[in-house]
Amino acid sequence: MAKRGNGFPGGGIPGNMNNLMKQAQRMQRQMEESQKEMETKEFSAKAGGGAVEVVVNGSKEILKVTLTPEVVDPDDIEMLQDLIVAATNEALKSVDEANQAMMSKMTGGLGGFPF
């Protein structure tokens, strides 16, 4: 007679494994909800003492670029370009930091699994 099941009494998933699966599913739902929330958040950064401001969303899409009139110098376009790049990079860095903080909060600092 062939042995049936997966080796566990009753042929089902043991209680601890079942609880672990439920926790993993709950954590996945929470992460999905947090990710959706992150996508709607806005992050801004300024450069040149506030002369340039860039606003991005959690999906890393640029929503707005604001320039003060003083920073628009036709004889120094390179400085304006550099300020826009600097503000954009800083705003994107803020998104990454917020994502990292969210993930750390969700996982409770889990990270070093032995496998």
Residue 68 vs residue 15, higher pLDDT: 68
User: Which amino acid is residue 11, in one-letter code?
Assistant: G
Place of tokens 């320039």: 67
* Average pLDDT value for residue range 10-20: 72
| Strand order across the beta sheet in which 62-67 lies | 42-47, 52-57, 62-67
Residue 17 vs residue 81, higher pLDDT: 81
Q: What pLDDT is stored for residue 115 in this prediction?
A: 45
Measure the CA–CA gap between 75 and 63, rounded to whole angstroms. Answer: 27
Q: Is 63 helix (H, G, I), strand (E, B) or coil?
A: strand
Q: Which residues contact 62 (CB under 8 A, 6 or more apart)?
A: 54, 55, 56, 88
